[in-house]
Amino acid sequence: MVMGILIVPSCYNDNYQDLYPSAPCDTTQVTYSVDVWPVLKAQCTGCHSGDSPGGNVALENYNDVVIVAKNGKLVGSVRHNPGYSPMPKDGAKLSSCKINKIEKWVNDGTPNN
């Protein structure tokens, strides 16, 4: 008798909120390294890095991100607020939870944690 093995692929980067969007969004302990940077790295640095970052907005590291966070462009753009360039450009709007976490981090004073 031959026994087969069922392999079910999964991704270690799967995010609970992305997999289950109706799950509550926890914004009580938002950190740059866990909540903000992974989103920006995945969704923004493709265009906003290098020698010629899109819109002259670099998002390659914490210091770059803080500049855009403190001048209001980060939250305005990810929320698609009037007067801001909606980001990600030509892409789907970030989930409400991701946007809320970014906004919470900005409102908390952009701590580097």
pLDDT attached to residue 47: 95
Residue type at position 75: V
Distance of alpha carbon 86 from alpha carbon 77, whole angstroms: 5
Per-residue pLDDT, 3: 55
- pLDDT tens sequence for the chain (113 residues): 555 554 444 444 455 555 555 678 999 999 999 999 999 999 999 999 999 999 999 999 999 999 999 999 999 999 999 999 999 998 899 999 999 999 999 999 999 99
Say if residues 42 and 98 touch (Cβ distance below 8 Å): no
**CA–CA separation, 56 and 66 (whole Å):** 15
pTM: 0.79
Domain boundaries along the sequence of the chain: 29-107
pLDDT of residue 75: 98
The predicted pLDDT at position 12 comes to 45
